[in-house]
Amino acid sequence: MSEEKKVTAAKVEKEAKKADPIEASIDIATQQMIARAQQLGIETVFDRAVSMKPCNIGAQGTCCKICNMGPCRLPLPKDYEQGKDERKGLCGATANTIAARNFARMVAAGTAAHSDHGRSVAEVFLSVARKETHDYKIKDPQKLLQIAPWFEVATTVEVDGKTLDRDIDEIALEVAEKAMAEWGKPEGELLYLKRAPQPLYERWKKLGVLPRNIDREVVDIMHRSTMGVDQDYKNIVKQCTRTALADGWGGAMMATDLQDVMFGTPSPLQSEANMGIMKEDHVNIIVHGHEPILSEMIVAACQSQEMLDYAKTKGAKGIQLGGICCTANEILQRHGIPPAGTFLQQELAIVTGACEAMVVDVQCVFQNLANVAKCFHTKLITTHPMAKMEQDNVIHIEFNEHHAMEDAKRIVKMAIDNFTNRRAEVMIPNVKHTQIAGFGVESIEYHLGGTFRGSYYTLNDNIINGRIRGLAGVVGCNNARTKHNEAHITLIKELIKNDVLVLTTGCSALAAGGHGLLTPETAAVYCGPGLAEICETVGIPPVLHLGSCVDNTRILLAATEVIKAGGLGKDLQDIPAAGSAPEWMSEKAIAIGQYFVASGVYTLFGVGMPLDGAPQFKNYLFNELEKIYGGKWDCEPDPIKHAHKMIAHIDKKRKELGIDKARERVLMDMADRQALEA
Ligand code: MSK
């Protein structure tokens, strides 16, 4: 080949390795910013997804690298036959053992991430209870009183034959100490497990999967999945269950509750979503990560008159705070701060050229942010002792609850000072949508039950009479291996078209907001007639934003309230409901999936799961678990087929409950509901 041809070929190859913005995302803001990044010669995750293919054997789940004799790679042979599978690693580990160990380590990592987040929150709560910090307070004492009994903390005291309310500070201190013990108590079981419906709790007990303490279950997985320990994939999955339950009904649930106590329980509020929330004439600060301990203080600092006045001295009209990933959800649901985007939009927020500071803590933060920030004036600030970046343009300001507001003001001031340093032309996509967010167990009760009834009866009645066909939890991440947001949005639209009420969290909720699906008006455009009628009558969106990743526990508790209200069975597995993470990527998603499955929920993932190299293990997760827990895993990358698998499951549950034909509106009283249950 001539030199000239070689240069042309290399140029073509280089060009070919860039992502096609239209193929990469269905979101116009994202498409525009990918194109903008390419125009500026800045590489993003979308380009890397084109130039780097995933490892075929890793994708099958059968690459073992837990000892230094490997990595042992066991791809599925073309002529695979179950009884004749002779694949083994050097130690003899089978494909099933390897895939199960890899899966278990994802459960452990996911549980560790959520639960360590929960631990940080509990530690700050303990500081609040001990009055060691003045920057955080108890904003929702009612929620504290509501959760105290689950920690076996009394809320009243008997004095001279009279029942008196206990001092709230005393209750807080006891709850904080009990909560902290959940990570490492030497004996017993996690206290929150009893919040599950009784039959579910009893099943876990009978199966021997009640978590003992959170840290122990994570350590247990790391031990048993190391070289030469647990070699029975079913036994490994049993520990996956115990660990995942320590996440969903332990660390993550405590994170949600204690955050609500300290920062306020969310209630529906109006905001906006997508990158168009950034403002050219404002100081733009983007918070990204997960723990609201940081972002709560940044919100307060940004809203302080001192900082607003300071911003004006630099020529800015104000401070625009926005979020990425679950930090975005935390400050959205409690303060109405608009999210700028999902996981895959993090680099693009900087590419706008208008981001004065991106402030990150833990989880889902791209290391490449530092490379993108280098091309602009953006200050990239890490704040968590366990999450630093090696690049020299990154500033580390360690956040500490004892001087939280001081740290927050320092960060905000740094962003304001940076406003005059913009060097690239600003390009903010003109794309944003109105949204209603901030739903939770309490607000669903209020909106669908009303202050008079104040319960889940109305929701149940409308499921029984068929106006609402069932419930779907649609949660989880984006994944650069699939078209950004396509599966989330297509799936959600298909579900609501079929009268399925959607509860959403995480980046799925951000995607729904960014595409305008979180408004009551959505109902008239996209919903089936039954769900549309409910949404119009009650004034709620057909897709309810329930918060961040740790707030998936709100879905578990909402489902538990459905059981308590009657008429839809006695256990979570009886409800016409299904769960989904159509664009998952994080190990946290696997931990979430496993606790939903173990709680009785049919749980579908999109994209693909690292199981195909071990068909027996996969079959165990996809079929046999249902006989044990009532829930099971499934995987379907096509969002329409995915939706219809969920709907088929919902219909199966309706049939089992005997409500598959009850399309007429019947006002049910308790006796009717009990008759249905009989
Ligand atoms: S942030 S874990 S990408 S949902 Fe919770 Fe989004 Fe998934 Fe991170």
261 lines ligand 1 (CB under 6 A): no
- 18 within 8 A of 50, measured Cβ to Cβ: yes
Largest Cα–Cα distance in the chain?
100
By three-state DSSP, how is residue 25 classified? strand
Residue to substitute in 361, 482, 549 for testing ligand 1 pocket (most ligand atoms within 8 angstroms of CB): 549
Question: Is pLDDT at 336 greater than 90 in this prediction?
Answer: yes
% of the chain beyond a pLDDT of 90: 91
User: Ligand 1 mean position to 111 CA, how many Å?
Assistant: 14
- Note if the pTM is more than 0.75: yes
547 Cβ closer than 6 Å to some ligand 1 atom: no
Residue 11 has pLDDT above 90, yes or no: no
Does the pLDDT value for residue 662 go beyond 60? no
Helix ranges (H only) for 390-440 are 404-417
Tell which one of 111, 474, 477 to mutate to probe ligand 1, the residue whose CB is within 8 A of the most ligand atoms: 477
Question: Which numbered atom of ligand 1 lies nearest the CA of 325?
Answer: 1
Cα–Cα distance list, 600 to 114, 126, 267, 477 (Å): 21, 34, 28, 22
> What pLDDT, on a 0 to 100 scale, did the predictor assign at position 678?
44
Tell me the average pLDDT across 282-293. 97
Beta-carbon count within 10 A of 326 CB: 32
Q: Spell out the alpha helix ranges (H) of 91-167.
A: 95-129, 141-147
The string of pLDDT tens digits covering residues 395-413 is 999 998 889 999 999 999 9
CB 357 less than 6 A from any atom of ligand 1 = no
Q: Which domains does the chain have, with CATH numbers?
A: 109-263 (1.20.1270.30), 269-396 (3.40.50.2030), 443-657 (3.40.50.2030)
98-118: pLDDT as tens digits: 999 999 999 999 999 999 999
CA–CA separation, 519 and 123 (whole Å): 36
Confidence of residue 7 (pLDDT cuts 50, 70, 90): low
Q: Which residues pair with 156 in a beta bridge?
A: 165
- Residue 578 CB coordination number (10 Å): 29
Please tell me the predicted confidence (pLDDT) of residue 401.
Answer: 85
Burial bucket for residue 298 (CB in 10 Å: 0-12, 13-18, 19+):
buried
- Distance, in Å, from the CA atom of 191 to the CA atom of 628, rounded to the nearest integer, reads 23
Q: Answer for the pair 576, 470: CB distance below 8 angstroms, yes or no.
A: yes
Report which of 209, 247, 214, 232 is spatially closest to residue 587, judged by C-alpha positions: 247
Specify whether the CB–CB gap between 242 and 209 falls below 8 A: yes
User: 635: Cβ–Cβ under 8 A, 6 or more apart, which residues?
Assistant: 604, 605, 606, 607, 608, 609, 611, 622
| 477 Cβ closer than 6 Å to some ligand 1 atom | yes
- Look at ligand 1, atom 1, and give the residue with the nearest C-alpha: 325
Write the residue with the smallest CA distance to atom 3 of ligand 1: 477
Q: What is the mean pLDDT of residues 455-466?
A: 91
- Distance in angstroms between the alpha carbons of the first and the last residue of the chain: 80
Q: What is the mean pLDDT of residues 242-265?
A: 98
Q: How far is the CA of 485 from the centre of ligand 1 (A)?
A: 13
Strand partners, 547: none
Asked if 552 contacts 505 with a C-beta cutoff of 8 angstroms, the reply is: yes
Does residue 71 have a cis peptide bond before it, meaning omega lies within 30 degrees of 0? Answer: yes
Query: Is the model's pLDDT at 428 over the cut of 60?
Result: yes
Q: Give strand pairing partners of 322.
A: 286
Please choose from 326, 347, 478 the residue to mutate so as to test ligand 1's pocket, defined by most ligand atoms within 8 A of CB: 326
pLDDT confidence of residue 446: 80
Question: For the segment 628-642, what is each residue's pLDDT rounded down to a tens digit?
Answer: 999 999 999 999 999
- CA-based torsion, 368, 374, 375, 380: positive or negative: positive
The CA 553 to ligand 1 mean position distance, Å, reads 15
What are the tens digits of pLDDT across the range 502-552?
999 999 999 999 999 999 999 999 999 999 999 999 899 999 999 999 999
Report the nearest-CA residue for atom 7 of ligand 1.
Answer: 477
How confident is the model over 282-295, as a mean pLDDT? 96
The token duo for 581 is 């993470």
Rounded CA separation 244/247 (Å): 5
Interval between CA 386 and ligand 1 midpoint (Å) = 18
Q: Is the pLDDT of residue 665 over 50?
A: no
Cα of 511 vs its chain's centroid, Å: 12
Contact predicate 482/583, CB 8 Å: yes
What is the C-alpha to C-alpha distance for residues 514 and 510, in angstroms, rounded to an integer? 6
Q: Is 341 touching ligand 1 by the criterion CB < 6 Å? A: no
pLDDT band (50, 70, 90) for residue 438: very high
For 2, residues 6+ apart whose C-beta sits below 8 A from its C-beta are none
Q: How far is the centre of ligand 1, averaged over its atoms, from the C-alpha of 584 (Å)?
A: 8
Q: Whose CA is nearest to atom 8 of ligand 1?
A: 364
Beta strand 543-545 with 577-581 is: unpaired
- Asked whether 567 lines ligand 1 (CB < 6 A), one says no
Per-residue pLDDT tens over the stretch 56-96:
999 999 999 999 999 999 999 999 998 899 999 999 999 99
pLDDT tens-digit readout, 372-391: 999 999 999 999 999 999 99
pLDDT in tens, 551-610: 999 999 999 999 999 999 999 999 999 999 999 999 999 999 999 999 999 999 999 999
Looking at residue 15, what is its pLDDT?
57
Q: Which helix (H) or strand (E) holds 269?
A: strand 269-273
Instruction: Kindly state the tokens that stand for 239.
Output: 């520990």
Does the Cβ of 289 fall within 6 Å of ligand 1?
A: no
Dihedral class, residue 341 (left if φ above 0, else alpha if ψ from -120 to 50, else beta): left
pLDDT recorded at residue 144: 98
User: Which H or E element spans position 617?
Assistant: helix 615-619
Ligand 1 centroid – CA 581 distance (Å)? 11
- 494: pLDDT confidence band, cut at 50, 70 and 90? very high
